[in-house]
Amino acid sequence: MREAIKMSLGEATAVSTAPLPDPRQLEIRDFGSYALIIDARSPREYANDHIPGAISLPVVNDSEYAEVGTRHKDDPHAAYLIGTQYALRNIASMVESLIVKYKPDDRILVYCFRGGKRSKLWADNLRTIGYQVDVVPGGWKSYRRWVMASLETLPRHFEYRVLSGSTGTGKTRLLHALSRISQQVLDLEALASHRGSLLGAVPYQPQPSQKLFDTLLLDALRKMDPARPVWVEAESKKIGNLQLPIGLFEAMIRSTPLHISAPMSERVRLWREDYAHFAKAPATLVELLTPLKPIIGGDELDRWRELAAQDQVDELFARVMSQHYDPSYERSTRRSYSTFPLSHRIDLDSLLPERLDKVAADLAARFG
């Protein structure tokens, strides 16, 4: 490996001294102190977002919830009657199958959308049994406001070590190598279930909702130590359909990035592994990249189509990277990182795991 250091990191980026986000701001204990966190909302609401560690124990399921809502428009009393019948049957079933497993002195947290009827139904029954129960005041709505406020401030408490570099240079794998040696790593693409760019969708793994991504991100950051640096991959403001919090993005671009490069042969080999589905169907890759025609030109796009039709996958991968991703990466990085021309340069001769492990150890010793 050849490594040329262009400048030192210099003084650490200023970090926030504001109080760290704490669930006690929601008038509850830390989430980890509860033996059970019950999301009393419908399964659809739970899938959209939920408190970390919560399990879905809906008072009414999706179809029952819709039925109660429809009836309420014309006859609120009838809606409450049928809703209560559904709720008591459902709670009884879940007490018998799940709640009975918890010890009498276990503390339970319950929440619904606004901290109203659905939370009360669960809390009253659990307290009758003898459990200690807390209810989130204001429910998920209050929790969501806390998440958004926390994401405005918490990212600014950390100093970031940003791995930059064009696609295929092994940044994500290097993050994983750093994680294996107990460095603090924030893997944004894993949280977003997306590798970024037009090609970034992960087969059979839909992205979470924006709200759930925010929850996952905040949960990851809250588990980290602000006294230690956080390693992260350079990203644009969006990963697929998901938006990065502005506080995190601004904190990242204030850092001096570590620029990773690798030989094209290694990058193509990595693409064959990470994008095996495109290696099997190269025409699909070109189809996804068709919206780039105004940027790369019709002649270049036609060349990609020819290579795909001839199943010349390695040449296609290399050409897509060299003719689009490399210049695009440099333009975006120069816009975002004012220190980019002076960034640390880490030139890798191999992206094999054993080589990346050695690089990770060296980076941790220098900058960890």
Residue by residue, DSSP assigns 272-316 as HHHTHHHHH-HHHHHHHHGGGHHHH-HHHHHHHHHHHHTT-HHHH
Q: Which of 100, 97, 94 is nearest to 121 (CA)?
A: 94
- What span, in angstroms and rounded, lies between the C-alpha atoms of 200 and 216? 19
- Active-site entry in 112, 253, 260, 313: 112
Q: Which of 97, 101, 90, 80 is nearest to 36 (CA)?
A: 101
246 is catalytic: no
Contact 197, 237 (CB under 8 A): no
Kindly state the DSSP code that residue 205 receives in the 8-state scheme. Answer: -
CA 279 to chain centre: 26
- What span, in angstroms and rounded, lies between the C-alpha atoms of 237 and 174? 21
Planar angle of CA 233, 226, 179, nearest 5 degrees: 45
Angle at which helices 298-309 and 282-289 cross, to 10°? 170
Kindly state the DSSP code that residue 3 receives in the 8-state scheme. Answer: E
Contact 188, 243 (CB under 8 A): no
Encoding tokens for residue 16?
């926030």
Helix (H) or strand (E) holding 347: strand 344-347
Residues ≥6 apart with Cβ < 8 Å to 51? 31, 37, 39, 109, 111, 136, 140, 143, 215
Q: Which of 94, 282, 263 is nearest to 168 (CA)?
A: 263
The residues annotated as belonging to the active site are: 112
